[in-house]
Amino acid sequence: MDRKIQHIGVFTSGGDAPGMNACIRAVVRSALNADLMISGIGSGYQGMLEGDFVSLGTSDVSNIIQRGGTILKASRCEEFKTSAGMQKAYDNLRQKGIDALIAIGGDGTFRGANEFISKFNFPVIGIPGTIDNDMYGTDFTIGYDTAINTVVEAVDKIRDTAEAHNRLFIIEVMGKDAGFIALRSGIAVGAEAVLIPETKTHVDELIAYLQRRGENKNSSSIIIVAEGDDAGGALEIAAKVKEHYVDYDTRVSILGHMQRGGAPTCMDRVLASRLGVGAVTALLEGKTNEMIGIIHRDISFTPFEKACKHHKNINKHLLNIVETLSG
């Protein structure tokens, strides 16, 4: 890159994730520490099209590190996917004097950034912010740790009432395309089974397993289901179980968007801070078109195209742990 960066724009896009505010704070203060101008862009790519820019100072990001959501708001923008939309966004950025971007989001955010860079050679560094933890090129994404801790807290409470009434609870967690939330939280709560999109679910085997538990006088069961499981969500699986095993008092709990909210955990705050500072440093070093992440506890960089095209695999060892520890 042959031009010196003087003004960075930062935005959040796609679904919100706990820790995004901590990341915004890190980006802003790191940029100011490097004597750069820094502007926040409201509502992601939509804000670029609408010229929703606001200059940020150190006081603007005070007292936000502990807040969930995102002070910059987040949205999805179909117009940005068009050539005309990207041109409008570019013109607005140049008019504001912004000469580099830091994008906090997930797969869709980085696909848009990659296309934008190919058209305008505009410097962009991406920071993975998604509770699903499904981004290739990083061990953990911002928001994932908070989300699984939210699930664990909720399921621990559900387990109490399941034990009190000898019930089967089928609990649906987020994960339309990936089972990372379901798998790790399932181990943490001692779930009897975890159903995820990455593996084939055989409902007949699940029913046979529940029958064996009943014969062994196990009083309750917790089944964790990712919303994108091939056998359907919690409601569909519960209906199939009831058809074959009427003796079980079966209940469904869908945790839904509560998994996106709440104060970020210590891990998410530290991760967000590391990646925010690292993203600003990367731009100053001439990097672009890459996602910053953490691999084996160290900062790493993955090209957007690779981060978007490659699929992050489920840890098979964790799957084996679920099977080994189920009673």
CA atoms lying within 13 Å on the CB side of residue 162? 25
For the chain, give the number of residues: 327
Please name the residue that has the structure tokens 């159903």: 195
Angle value at C-alpha 107, between 103 and 109, nearest 5 degrees: 35
d(C-alpha 190, C-alpha 326), whole Å = 7
Residue in 52, 99, 132, 134 annotated catalytic: 132
- Walk across the sheet containing 193-195 and list its strands: 193-195, 221-226, 167-173, 249-254
**Is 132 among the residues known to form the active site?**
yes
Neighbours of 272 (CB within 10 A): 28
Going from the C-alpha of 264 to that of each of 17, 23, 123, 267, 279, the distances in angstroms are 9, 11, 29, 8, 20
Active site residues: 132
